Amino acid sequence: MRNLRRLSGRPGIAVGLILLLGAGLLAVAAWRPPREYASEQFLMDTLVRIEAYGRDEAQLRAAVTAAFAEMRRVADLADNFAAPGSPACAASDVCRINQAAGREPVRVQPETLEMLALARRYGELSGGAFDVTVGPLVELWGFGRRESRSAPPAPAELAAALALVDYRELLVDATAGTVLLRRPGMRLDLGAVAKGYAAERAQRVLQQHGIAQALIDAGGNIRVLGENRRGRPWQIGVKDPRGEGRVIAVLPLVDAAAVTSGDYYRYVEIGGRRYHHLLDPKTGYPAAANLSLTVVAADAGLADVLSTTLFVLPPEQALALAARAGVEALLVSADRRILHTPGLDGQIEVRAGTEYRHDPRR
Ligand code: AMP
Ligand code: MG
For residues 248-264, average pLDDT? 97
pLDDT band at 359, cuts 50/70/90? confident
Q: What is the mean pLDDT of the chain?
A: 93
Chain center to CA of 140: 25
The pLDDT of residue 266 is 92
The answer to whether the CB of 304 is under 6 A from ligand 1 is yes
Ligand of minimum distance to the alpha carbon of 130: 1
151 has a pLDDT exceeding 50: yes
Q: What distance in Å separates the CA atoms of residue 242 and residue 264, rounded to the nearest whole number?
A: 8
Q: Compute the C-alpha angle 133/269/131, nearest 5°.
A: 15
Q: Give yes or no for residue 27 having a pLDDT over 80.
A: no
Q: Which residue, by CA, sits nearest to atom 3 of ligand 1?
A: 192
Q: pLDDT (tens digit, 9 = 90+) per residue, 292-343? A: 999 999 999 999 999 999 999 999 999 999 999 999 999 999 999 999 999 9
Residues of the chain by 3-state class (helix, strand, coil), percent to 5: 40, 25, 35
* C-alpha distances in Å from residue 304, one per residue of 82, 165, 282, 310: 22, 20, 21, 10
Q: How far, in Å, CA of 142 to CA of 149, rounded?
A: 7
For 50-86, the pLDDT digits (tens) are 999 999 999 999 999 999 999 999 999 999 999 999 9
Ligand 1 atom showing the smallest separation from residue 304 Cα: 3
128 C-alpha to ligand 1 centroid (Å): 12
Confidence of residue 96 (pLDDT cuts 50, 70, 90): very high
- How many angstroms does the Cα of residue 15 sit away from the middle of ligand 2? 62
Nearest CA to ligand 1 atom 10: 277
How does residue 8 score in pLDDT terms, banded at 50, 70 and 90? very low
Residue 192: CB within 6 Å of ligand 1?
Answer: yes
Helix or strand run (H / E) with residue 294: strand 290-297
> What's the pTM value of the predicted model, to 2 decimals?
0.91
Min mean pLDDT across 25-34, 228-237, 243-252, 342-351 is at: 25-34
Least confident of 24-33, 157-166, 195-204, 244-253: 24-33
Q: Which amino acid is at 356?
A: Y
